[in-house]
Structure 1
Amino acid sequence: MNKIIAFVVAFVVVVLLASSSVFVVDPRHVAVVSSSGGSKASLAEPGLHVKLPPPFQVATFIDTRIQAFDAPDADRYTTSDKSELLVNPVVRYRVADPLKLFGATKGDTQTLADRLASLSRDALADAFSKVTLSDALQQQEAIANAARDALKTAAAPLGIDVIAIELTRIDYPAEVANVVYKRMSAAREQAAADERAKGAAEAQQIKDDAERKQQDVVADAYSQAQAIKGEGDGKAAAIAAQAFGRDPDFYRFYQSMQAYRESFKPGDVVVVDSSSDFFRFMRSPNGDAPQAPAASRKH
């Protein structure tokens, strides 16, 4: 009976030792096999491996996929013009050198996230300190790339390759948001007023140009009209002279009729001497002067 118990105990011990000595690494990880104290570490690629049972050797599994971390709360960063911003970054990275990471963390790879968070805050603080508030709001991608490059250099001793930093949120702290919004609103209103003033000036310039062109066109038209009128008057005078030369009596009669039409308008009351020479064609069709009364003739 004792032999059976001893055999069972020995079998269990062998199984436990075998299970702690054989391990499998999946394709998403690598394993760092280290002896007691973390010395003499070696890398185990994906597959089936054998090691000494603890505490002689320990296998530490490290994820080699692209990973990401972000801070649960936004961090404050100060720009070059002393403005504060709340920023939420997301850092994407992968473990490029597991042995270097194992050595830098002394086997405690769980501290990696905290160390990367600290390094990313330093990189972002340096990037934001070099730009103004306006640039920080307009050049987020450039700031993120500058912080990524700085973090890549700082994380290299950890065996980490930083792939990207994404700024998921950039906002103002509550205590300065109203002040900033009012300042931005005032700036937009001033810009709108400047645009309106510029538009009014351009409209007035267009109006002045149009009026000047109108005056030029009117002056040119008046000049042409006067020239045409002068030419017409000349032709009319020539025709009148020709008509007068052909029939002086008819010309005088026609001119008198025109004078009567211009002188007497409907409703006018005119008191004149009917013996005036002006009315000679009213007294006689041929405009002859009136004859003296018979009593006044000399014998």
Structure 2
Amino acid sequence: MKFLTAILVVLLVMLGFNSMYVVKEGQTALVLQFGRIVRTDNETGLHFKLPLIQQRLLFDSRIMSLDAQPERYFTSEKKSVNVDFYVKWRIADSAAYYRATTGSDLQAANRLTPLVKNALRQEFNGRTLQELITAGRKDITERVRTDTDAIAEKNLGIDVVDVRIKRIELPDEVSESVYKRMRAERLQLANELRSTGQQAYTTIQADAERQVQVIKADAERDAAKVRGEGDAQAAAIYAQAYGQDPEFFAFYRSLSAYRDSFKDGKGVLVLKPDSEFLRYFNDGAAKH
């Protein structure tokens, strides 16, 4: 009797544990009964189900990554490019996710990858190589995310959170043509900047030369005016001095002429003895 009671207690404990389950943070749960979905439990905490009859499945509701293999696409000019990308996704509807993938993350990734690749193919097929190089990748990836998310949510029960292009590799022949075109564009830009700079230099130089000419002309005008005023004042002073003592002024002028004529000590003058230039010499000799 005690043995049967012990077995019964053990069975009851096992049934009790089998009827409880815990949903942790970042998880979502499905309750199945004979393979049919009974309910979805998204709230964290302790939950209950019918023991033995019902089964619970736990799914990771956090954001997951899909790092796909690089894919080759063709542009609108039929030039090939290798695109390496990754996708961020998470489960949005546990029931739809289970029906589509039986809860397998690998199967979900295998079904999501073609959706993203097809959306990328449409974007690349509709753009030229120049547009792919010059335009930002954000516009492409946002359109791909939007288109893929709508299909994935409906068919797989998942949200496509983000699509990012890690790199776009060009074949060697395409890379060479792109490099040449970019080099030509940079040379053209450099020539335009050089031409603009030369034009600015010529304009500045011409303006500086014009200002120099104006400053010189103004300076020469002012100098001529000052010289004229000085000459006028000197002439007035000379005239005033001459009027006060004409004889002394004539004598002073003669001395200045004598000094200038014989200042180097080598000058020779051939003059008549009664020359006006030797007037004060003769007058001095007569007085002596």
The alignment's TM-score, normalised by the length of structure 1, stands at 0.71
Query: Residues 61-84 of structure 1, C-alpha deviation per residue, up to 9 Å, x if partnerless?
Result: 54322111011x322344556654
Aligned twin of 1:93: 89
User: 1:141 and 2:138 equivalent?
Assistant: yes
* Aligned pairs, number: 268
Superposition RMSD in Å: 3.9
Aligned residue type for 1:139: G
Moved more, 95-104 or 159-168: 95-104
Deviation at 1:278, TM superposition (A): 5.2
Name which of 91, 116, 119 aligns with 1:120: 116
Question: Which range moved further: 152-161 or 127-136?
Answer: 127-136
- The answer as to whether partners of 1:32 and 1:61 remain within 8 angstroms in 2 is no
Residues 139 and 34 (structure 1), Cα distance of their counterparts in 2 relative to 1, 3 Å cut: farther
Residue pairs, 1:39-188, within 5 angstroms: 40-45=36-41, 47=47, 49-50=49-50, 62-71=59-68, 73-79=69-75, 84-105=80-101, 110-128=106-124, 129-130=126-127, 133=130, 136=133, 139-157=136-154, 158-188=156-186
Greater CA drift, 73-82 or 194-203: 73-82
Q: 1:294 maps to which residue?
A: none
| CA deviation map 1:19-78 (0-9, x unaligned) | xx9795753242363646xxx43334374544767xxx886654322111011x322344
Match for residue 188 of structure 2 among 182, 190, 207: 190
2:29 touches 2:56 (CA, 8 Å); kept in 1?
A: no
Q: Which residue of 1 aligns with 2:232?
A: 234
- Structure 1 stretches of 5 or more lacking a match? 1-13, 289-299
Deviates more, 1:57-66 or 1:240-249: 57-66
- Cα deviation for residue 130 of structure 1 reads 4.4
Residue 241 of structure 1 aligns with an amino acid whose one-letter code is: A
Task: From the CA coordinates, give the structure whose radius of gyration is larger.
Answer: 1
Cα distance between partner residues in 2 of 1:145 and 1:58: 39
Q: Name 2:6's counterpart in structure 1.
A: none
Give the Cα separation in 2 of the matches to 1:201 and 1:287.
78
What amino acid sits opposite 1:68 in the alignment? S
* Aligned counterparts of 1:142 and 1:81: Cα–Cα separation in 2: 20
Change (3 A) 1:287 1:58: farther
Tell me which amino acid in the other structure corresponds to 2:169: D
Structure-2 separation of matches of 1:197 and 1:189: 12
1: CA distance, partners of 2:106 / 2:19 = 24
Gapped regions of structure 2 (runs ≥ 5): 1-10
CA distance in 1, matches of 2:133, 2:20: 50
Look up the equivalent residue of 1:100 and give its one-letter code: A
Per-residue Cα deviation, 1:136-167 (whole angstroms, up to 9, x for no partner):
45512333222222222222212211111122
